[in-house]
């Protein structure tokens, strides 16, 4: 095994310089009574004479504001209300609370708190400075505010000394959140400020204003000090000639999402060294560019809890694949519905496909996976309540054209949330659905069936559920939600991860089936933690077959394992772990494979 630090790749320093941005971002919120959400039967603040403005600056490093981590400096100016309670004779206009909330423009609900600025002792912004005479507040929201709020001693038995804690108890968590957790919401325009007074208190307040990005005025500059993020590589692709690798760099507040190509100049397995040099960098999303997901997701049924991991804050490129017999390689930005096609010979994006976006089709697409002849391809959709597999035709110039979608539909319900496709031959393929039950996004009249395996006929455009859900690890069906599957000879290997039910990462399995009869797979065995697999094995996430089919490699980012399975005996042949230097093993790719 060779462990190669990214910094040891020639040209990687230039890649980081190209992808990193620490430029401050500027925002404003105009505060008006007209934006307040007014439930039926509640008094309206319109005509109250209250107004205000909030100005914010996001510093990705925190250095401009003396913070070690991302921080937001804000100023709030209020009119027509009494911040200190002493400027006017009446108490009706006295300000009782000020908060930043998560929520979109015009949303007819009160979103959860993200920063308590005023009115909740023990939870308010530690840096807030109040000028009661001029009705202004300045402060800095950073990650420490959340920690200090959770542990602040200025509470009574851990409960803030304010009536809001009684009103909102059980409705939403009161504690201030970290900036890192909500910077993506800020950049997506999903934060708003709310001001409450005695007269217009719960729920909507007297003023509300949506925070929107505005052009910067140059007050603050990009910093190389403070908190500087490092690049993080998640997926790898190896070209068929084994002369080049492509790596995907995850996006973040400071780092642009990208695909980086590197030439393999030499490998010395005995010495454990490698010589790589960057030859291309393709930026697929800017630093701090928010992701695009369907809105309104929530739990509606006990069968399907909502895990947070599917909705990533920043952009990621996944699902690498190679078009057989051509220089075209493909990556999917599943977080923002974009497909990227690269010509490996020219080191350029394919013209007209940079990226490919098809409304209603490429939503959360996770890969374009070609049949062995490279004439057609299938694409899964990696998100809740997406149950169509997209069919593409490969054109003579090696580009693709969308043909149709194949719905994973059975008498029991539709199979949603698919990650990968594995071809049996040029016509038939398998896919696996991960979702257990309905969510708020499930269309009316549609039933969602639990995890299973589907046989796709790409010629007829049909799909049949051929393996159902198992109740226990000893049953023959699919026990944990299936993250990946791969056909090797007359066997099907299924990576089962524990990631979409009520728990996360308690275990992980690899199920093996005989597919001599593709329509009727026969269960062979299930490799289990503590028996075939290490006792602490969790989350079987990805599968990579060797070129000769003699082995399948299983990646577990949760438990830091890369496990080699002998496909003749279906036993573990080798275990690589954190003791070998592995960490967060996620996107494996074996030389000679096409996905």
pLDDT at 159 exceeding the cut of 70: no
- Residue 42 pLDDT class (50, 70, 90 cuts): confident
pLDDT computed for residue 113 by the predictor: 84
Q: Is 207 exposed, middle or buried (0-12, 13-18, 19+ CB in 10 A)?
A: buried
- Residue 386 pLDDT class (50, 70, 90 cuts): very high
pLDDT: which is higher, 306 or 105: 306
Q: In 217-229, which positions are buried (b, 16+ CB within 10 angstroms) versus exposed (e)?
A: eeebeebeebbeb
pLDDT computed for residue 149 by the predictor: 59
CA-to-CA distance for 283 and 299, rounded, in angstroms?
35
- Residue 104 pLDDT class (50, 70, 90 cuts): confident
CA-to-CA distance for 61 and 219, rounded, in angstroms?
15
Average pLDDT over residues 331-341: 98
Average pLDDT over residues 163-189: 68
- Residue 177 pLDDT class (50, 70, 90 cuts): confident
Element (H, E) at 545: strand 542-545
Check if the beta carbon of residue 61 is closer than 8 Å to that of residue 49. no
Average pLDDT over residues 241-268: 97
**How many residues in the chain?**
595
pLDDT computed for residue 161 by the predictor: 39
83 is written with which tokens?
Answer: 């911040």
- Residue 6 pLDDT class (50, 70, 90 cuts): very high
Average pLDDT over residues 321-332: 97
Q: What percentage of the chain exceeds 90 in pLDDT?
A: 83
Q: What is the pLDDT of residues 196-248, one digit of tens each?
A: 999 998 778 999 999 999 999 889 999 988 899 999 999 999 999 999 999 99
On the CB side of 220, CA atoms within 13 Å amount to: 23
pLDDT computed for residue 153 by the predictor: 35
Per the prediction, the chain carries an average pLDDT of 92
pLDDT at 160 exceeding the cut of 80: no
pLDDT computed for residue 119 by the predictor: 83
pLDDT computed for residue 587 by the predictor: 80
pLDDT computed for residue 345 by the predictor: 96
Average pLDDT over residues 533-545: 98
């Amino acid at each position: 095994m060779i462990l190669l630090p990214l910094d040891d790749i020639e040209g990687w320093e230039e890649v980081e310089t190209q992808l990193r941005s620490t430029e401050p971002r500027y925002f404003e919120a105009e505060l008006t009574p007209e934006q307040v959400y007014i439930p039926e039967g509640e008094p309206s603040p319109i005509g109250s004479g209250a107004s205000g403005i909030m100005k914010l600056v996001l510093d990705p490093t925190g250095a401009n504001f003396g913070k070690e981590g991302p921080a937001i400096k804000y100023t709030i100016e209020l009119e027509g209300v009494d911040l200190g309670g002493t400027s006017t004779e009446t108490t009706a206009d006295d300000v009782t609370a000020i908060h930043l909330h998560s929520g979109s423009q015009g949303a007819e609900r009160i979103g959860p708190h993200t920063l308590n600025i005023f009115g909740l002792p023990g939870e308010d912004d530690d840096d807030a400075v109040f000028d009661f005479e001029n009705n202004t507040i300045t402060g800095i929201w950073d990650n420490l505010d959340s920690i200090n709020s959770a542990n602040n001693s200025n509470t009574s038995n851990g409960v803030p000394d304010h009536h809001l804690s009684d009103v909102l108890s059980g409705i939403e968590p009161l504690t201030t959140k970290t900036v890192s957790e909500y910077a993506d919401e800020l950049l997506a325009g999903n934060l708003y400020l709310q001001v409450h007074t005695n007269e217009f208190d719960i729920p909507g307040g007297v003023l509300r204003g949506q925070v929107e990005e505005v052009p910067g005025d140059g007050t603050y500059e990009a910093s190389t000090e403070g908190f500087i993020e490092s690049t993080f590589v998640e997926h790898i692709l190896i070209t068929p000639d084994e002369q080049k690798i492509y790596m995907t760099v995850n996006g973040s507040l400071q780092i642009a999402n990208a695909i980086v190509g590197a030439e393999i100049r030499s490998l010395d397995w005995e010495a454990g060294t490698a010589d790589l040099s960057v030859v291309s960098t393709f930026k697929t999303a800017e630093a701090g560019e928010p992701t695009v997901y369907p809105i309104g997701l929530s739990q509606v049924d006990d069968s399907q809890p909502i895990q947070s991991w599917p909705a990533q804050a920043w952009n990621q490129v996944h699902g690498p694949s190679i078009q057989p017999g051509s220089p075209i390689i493909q990556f999917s930005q599943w977080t923002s519905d974009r497909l990227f096609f690269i010509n490996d010979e020219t080191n350029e994006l394919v013209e007209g496909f940079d990226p490919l976006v098809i409304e209603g089709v490429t939503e959360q697409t996770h890969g374009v996976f070609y049949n062995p002849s490279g004439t057609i391809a299938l694409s899964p959709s990696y998100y809740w309540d997406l149950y169509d597999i997209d069919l593409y035709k490969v054109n003579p110039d090696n580009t693709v054209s969308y043909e149709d979608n194949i719905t994973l539909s059975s008498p029991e319900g539709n199979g949603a949330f698919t990650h990968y496709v594995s071809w049996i031959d040029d016509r038939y393929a398998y896919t696996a659905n991960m979702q257990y039950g309905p969510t708020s996004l499930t269309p009316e009249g549609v039933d969602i069936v639990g995890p299973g395996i589907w046989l796709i006929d790409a010629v007829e455009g049909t799909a049949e559920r051929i393996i159902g859900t198992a109740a226990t690890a000893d049953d023959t069906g699919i026990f944990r939600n299936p993250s990946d599957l791969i056909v090797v000879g007359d066997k099907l290997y299924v990576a089962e991860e524990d990631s979409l039910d009520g728990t996360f990462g308690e275990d992980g399995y690899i199920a093996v089936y005989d597919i001599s009869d593709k329509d009727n797979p026969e269960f062979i065995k299930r490799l289990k933690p503590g028996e075939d697999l290490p006792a602490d094995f969790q989350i079987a996430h990805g599968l990579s077959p060797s070129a000769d089919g003699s082995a399948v490699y299983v990646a577990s980012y949760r438990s830091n394992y890369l496990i080699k399975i002998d496909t003749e005996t279906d036993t573990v042949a080798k275990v690589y772990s954190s003791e070998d230097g592995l960490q967060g093993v996620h996107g494996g790719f074996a030389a000679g494979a096409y996905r």
